[in-house]
Amino acid sequence: MKQVLRGLWVGLAVVALILVRYQQDVLFYDPLRSFFEGLYLNAQELPVINSLKLLLNVSLRYWLNSALSIVILVLLFRSSEIYKLALLIYASAFMILILLFTVLILNYSAGMSMLLFYVRRFLIQPVFILILVPAFYYQRLRSSK
């Protein structure tokens, strides 16, 4: 019964991640979304951006996705060590990525569009969960031998 309940909670967290993605236009300010849908191919400059509002919204989205991802990891692996390590990874990645994102936004040139695209992608999408679940699973298999 506990396995089923835990599976339902994991499923709810995954659904919440999906809802964040599909409600992004309602929940978050992101003028770069339309920019990266094709405008960047010919644009020499970014669209008009409220940089502070963008950074706050990207940060909020990152931490919302991260919180849901950490909940999934804790439910799957039931370990306070996993929680601490995941929190450290997410916090470290955030500091590096948000700093790089800020520098790219403030010093944008046309040659930086793909770098900005990928840094933004790591900030707004729950990519790390796709890396951490297999990594922690592999680590658990190795430690059980």
**Over the stretch 42-97, which tens digit does the pLDDT of each residue have?**
666 788 889 999 999 999 999 999 999 999 999 999 888 899 999 999 999 999 99
pTM across the whole model: 0.88
Q: What token pair was written down for 96?
A: 């590096």
Straight-line distance from the first to the last Cα atom of the chain, in angstroms, rounded to the nearest whole number: 27
Which pLDDT score, from 0 to 100, does residue 79 have? 85
Look at residue 109 in the predicted model and tell me its pLDDT. Answer: 82
Task: Summarize pLDDT for 87-142 with one digit per residue, the tens.
Answer: 999 999 999 999 999 999 999 887 888 899 999 999 999 999 999 999 999 988 88
Task: Centre a 10 Å sphere on the Cβ of residue 123 and count the other Cβ atoms it contains.
Answer: 20
> Greatest CA separation found in the chain?
57
- The b/e string for 92-119 (b: 16+ C-beta within 10 A; e otherwise) is ebbeebbebbeebbeebeeebbeebeeb
